[in-house]
């Protein structure tokens, strides 16, 4: 790593304090009206910061973060990849799209083993979220797998479909499951048998992340593998029934269901089967992958562990090798900011609560787990509350702030990064009163950090990874609908320099996005950015 040592930035003057970078998760820049939770919240710190000379706006969605088109919203994973990588890499859906378009997805050893299993009588199980939200999954990818399975004459396929209701409309499940059931019926000819076997809402079935609540994964295991759960004749019957029973229910919180025929589940997972998790995003795919892959798994009682070939759409954790098998190679993100800073002897501190801890570590470091250099780095996770986020919208922001202030005053760290999860996690609830409190909480914490950075004569950088709280609801024909997905709004980028040592000014970068921040941080820390990084947002006034 010594050959990655950064060069000194000419004309730069050292200062005593740290560079503190705050990622306000899910806090973009929306229209100044009452649908905008940030505009409606009490934010004296942000209001003042937006008047700073080193204030600009950045793209945090679409092609600026490696997604296929500018219609695609950003998310925390690709956002933090861009923040830490300093360049744009093909991400998530784009990566899978390319693999499907080229056919490479069906040429690797994973698909060949799937064909081997199914040729011997095994069933192919396709597990994942059924929507076109394009954050965790895309229904087009499921359809591509189904079409290929039919073309290869795989005889028996079972889909275990999770409802979204978060990256798409909150009660849009039928618009995806009805055509899916029709497609499966159309493919069920020439001796093929393709059906939906189980499902449930993403927040209560299968898709837990960061080990926040293993019971979510356990419910998924019971429904998908064991065939245990409330029985229905079809997925659409289940969805309609849940809607009728509770008019307030939204898709993401829908209980699990099992499709039965003649009193028996139509698609339990058995020895000799193949299972593909067709989600492409990693955070909510790791735990269910562990349940399938680990022999010594102990997070819950699996009751029965079928001998199957399990593959992810992608490898969700490269360092930990989760899962062992996968269809699409992950983006190879090398030479991250963290690697350069460690090679240059910079001490750093990274912190967030459970919900976003992986973002300021794993994703920031190019989808790599663990420390780059444990002698120079300190990572701290504050355990998130296991409660609906609208019931405690302040989350763990105060605890994070306490530890960051201690780190600032300690003098041990030159670079500090943190993530406040409030704007995103509470933004996903679509509850305006809670969202305003979440945003005000972050603003209050910014005030505390600004005071500490001022005392130590440091520099503070404030930005966001994507939008969410900036749109709480949409309105059509006078009817408001909660907006629980990310937005495609730009995000703020602010530098507050308390050092008084360097005269930085904005460089006027065109079409600036999150990937420009890494080079900017290099400059703020006294280094020239690597030559192939996207350009810095600032320049040093000479003389």
Write the secondary structure of 464-506 as one string of H (helix), E (strand) and C (coil): CCCECCCCCEEEECCEEEECCCCECCCEEEEEEECCCCCCEEE
Residues 203 and 114 in one domain: yes
What's the confidence (pLDDT) of residue 122?
98
Q: Which residues are catalytic?
A: 76
Which residues are paired to 497 by β-bridges? 459
Strand boundaries in 239-358, DSSP class E: 257-261, 264-265, 274-277, 309-314, 326-328, 348-353
- Specify whether 212 is located in the same domain as 321: yes
In the structure encoding, which two tokens stand for residue 530, read together? 């690597």
**Domain boundary residue, one of 293, 328, 363:** 328
**C-alpha–C-alpha distance, residues 70 and 61, integer Å:** 7
257 and 356 fall within a common domain: no
Q: What is the CATH number of the domain that holds 321?
A: 3.40.1450.10
Nearest of 405, 344, 346 to residue 376 by alpha carbon: 346
Residues 6+ apart with CB under 8 A from 294: none
**pLDDT given for residue 1 in this prediction:** 55
Report d(CA 358, CA 421) in Å as an integer: 12
Say yes or no: 304 and 363 in one domain. no
One domain for residues 217 and 287: yes
Both tokens assigned to 517: 């921040």
Q: Which of 328, 357, 384 is the last residue of a domain?
A: 328
Q: Cβ of 108: how many Cβ atoms within 10 Å?
A: 16
Domain shared by 386 and 250, yes or no = no
Angle between helices 92-102 and 139-151 in degrees, nearest 10: 20
**Which residues, listed in sequence order, are joined to residue 415 by a DSSP beta bridge?**
19, 348
Low-confidence residues in the chain, pLDDT < 50: none
Residue 130 parent element (H or E): none
What is the per-residue pLDDT for 543?
A: 52
Greatest CA separation for the chain? 83
Structural domain including 510 reads 2-90+333-540
Same domain, 304 and 274: yes
Which H or E run includes 512?
none
Are 169 and 202 in the same domain?
A: yes
Quick one: 258 and 385 in the same domain?
A: no
DSSP 322: B
Whether residue 98 sits in one domain with residue 75: no
What's the rounded Cα separation, in Å, for the pair 351 and 359? 10
**Final residue belonging to a domain, choices 263, 296, 328:** 328
| pTM, full prediction | 0.77
Q: What's residue 188's pLDDT?
A: 98
Q: In the chain, how many domains are there?
A: 2
Q: What is the structure's pLDDT at 318?
A: 64
Specify whether 316 is located in the same domain as 246: yes
C-alpha to C-alpha distance for 81 and 520, rounded to whole angstroms: 15
In CATH, what number is assigned to the domain containing residue 85? 3.40.720.10
Contact call for residues 493 and 500 (beta carbons, < 8 A): no
466 contacts 28 by C-beta, under 8 angstroms: yes
Instruction: Report the candidate in 209, 204, 463 with the shortest Cα–Cα distance to residue 355.
Output: 209
Percent helix, strand, coil in the chain, to 5, is: 35, 20, 45
Q: Which two tokens stand for residue 466?
A: 């994507």
d(CA 415, CA 316): 27
Pairing of strands 459-463, 19-24: parallel
Reduced to 3 states, what is the DSSP secondary structure of residue 202? Answer: coil
196 and 263 housed in the same domain: yes
């Amino acid at each position: 790593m010594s050959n990655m040592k950064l060069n000194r930035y000419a004309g730069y003057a050292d200062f005593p304090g740290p560079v503190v970078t705050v990622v306000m998760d899910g806090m973009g820049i929306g229209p100044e009206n009452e649908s905008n939770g940030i505009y409606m919240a009490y934010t004296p710190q942000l209001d003042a910061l937006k008047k700073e000379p080193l204030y600009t706006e950045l793209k945090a969605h679409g092609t600026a973060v490696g997604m296929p088109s500018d219609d695609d919203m950003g998310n925390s994973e690709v956002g933090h990849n861009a923040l830490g990588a300093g360049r744009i890499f093909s991400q998530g859906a784009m990566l899978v799209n390319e693999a499907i378009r080229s056919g490479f997805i069906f040429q690797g050893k994973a698909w060949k083993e799937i064909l081997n299993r199914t040729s011997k009588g095994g069933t192919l199980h396709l597990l994942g979220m059924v929507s076109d939200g394009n954050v965790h999954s895309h229904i087009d990818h499921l359809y591509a797998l189904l079409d290929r399975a039919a073309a290869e004459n795989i005889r028996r396929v079972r889909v275990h479909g999770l409802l979204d209701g978060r990256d798409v409309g909150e009660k849009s499940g039928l618009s995806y499951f009805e055509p899916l059931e029709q497609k499966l019926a159309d493919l069920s000819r020439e001796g093929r048998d393709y059906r939906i076997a189980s499902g449930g809402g993403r927040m209560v079935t299968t898709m837990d992340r960061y080990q926040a609540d293993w019971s979510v994964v356990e419910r998924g295991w019971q429904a998908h593998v064991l065939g245990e759960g409330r029985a229905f004749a079809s997925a659409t019957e289940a969805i309609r029934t849940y809607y009728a029973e509770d008019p307030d229910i939204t898709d993401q919180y829908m209980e699990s269901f099992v499709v039965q025929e003649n009193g028996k589940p139509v698609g339990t997972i058995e020895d000799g089967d193949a299972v593909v998790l067709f989600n492409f995003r990693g955070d909510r795919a790791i735990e269910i992958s562990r349940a399938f892959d680990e022999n010594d798994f102990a997070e819950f009682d699996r009751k029965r562990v079928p001998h199957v070939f399990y593959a992810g759409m992608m490898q969700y954790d490269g360092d930990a090798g989760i899962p062992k098998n996968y269809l699409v190679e992950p983006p190879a993100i090398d030479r991250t900011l963290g690697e350069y800073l460690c090679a240059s002897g910079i001490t750093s501190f990274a912190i967030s609560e459970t919900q976003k801890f992986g973002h300021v570590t794993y994703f920031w470091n190019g989808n790599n787990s663990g420390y780059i250099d444990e002698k120079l780095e300190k990572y701290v996770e504050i355990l998130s509350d296991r409660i609906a986020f609208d019931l405690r919208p302040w989350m763990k922001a105060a605890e994070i702030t306490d530890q960051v202030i201690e780190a600032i005053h300690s003098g041990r760290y030159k670079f500090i990064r943190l993530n406040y999860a409030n704007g995103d996690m509470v933004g996903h609830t679509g509850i305006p009163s809670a969202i305003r409190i979440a945003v005000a909480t972050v603003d209050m914490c910014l005030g505390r950090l600004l005071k500490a950075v001022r005392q130590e004569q440091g520099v503070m950088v404030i930005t966001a990874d994507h939008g969410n709280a900036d749109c709480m609801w949409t309105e059509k024909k006078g009817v408001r609908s909660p907006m629980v997905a990310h937005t495609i709004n730009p995000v703020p980028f602010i530098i507050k320099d308390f050092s008084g040592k360097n005269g930085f000014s904005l460089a006027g970068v065109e079409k600036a996005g999150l990937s420009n921040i890494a080079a900017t941080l290099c400059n703020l820390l006294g280094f020239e950015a690597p030559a192939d990084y996207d350009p810095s947002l600032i320049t040093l006034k000479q003389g």
